[in-house]
Structure 1
């Protein structure tokens, strides 16, 4: 999906998410390309506070994105 679609999808997911899910999981926009996504998530995990939704654009070469969720580390909670 295009970036604007991913932003809308993330917004809807956050509105529907349970409080415990929000505390336990990151919900981010990531490049759809697997290699680019891995690089982005690796960089994101080093300092999540330094990233915003648009940060993923720096890692994406084809303007295709997806919304992904993954468990936060214990020290992040």
Structure 2
């Protein structure tokens, strides 16, 4: 999906998610390409506070995105 579609999808997912999901999982927009997505998630995981929704754009070569979630690492 295009970026704007992914952004709307994420907004809806955040509204539907319960508190425990929001506390324990990152819900992010990533490039649809597997390699680009893996690189984005790797960089995002190092310091999530440095990223916002549009950060994924610089990792994406074809303007195709997806919304995904993954478990947050426990804070040290």
List alignment gaps of at least 5 residues for structure 1.
Answer: none
Note the alpha carbon deviations across 1:5-63, whole angstroms, 9 max, x for none. 00000000000000000000000000000000000000001110000000000000000
TM-score normalised over the length of structure 1:
0.97
Query: In the alignment, is residue 4 of structure 1 matched against residue 38 of structure 2?
Result: no
Runs of 4+ in structure 1 displaced over 4 angstroms?
Answer: none
In the other structure, the counterpart of 2:53 is 53
Which whole-Å CA distance do the structure 2 matches of 1:28 and 1:42 have between them?
13
RMSD over equivalenced CA pairs, Å: 0.9
In the other structure, the counterpart of 2:32 is 32
How many residue pairs match? The answer is 76
TM-score normalised over the length of structure 2:
0.98
Which whole-Å CA distance do the structure 1 matches of 2:74 and 2:43 have between them?
18
In the other structure, the counterpart of 1:66 is 66
Secondary structure of the 1:56 match is helix
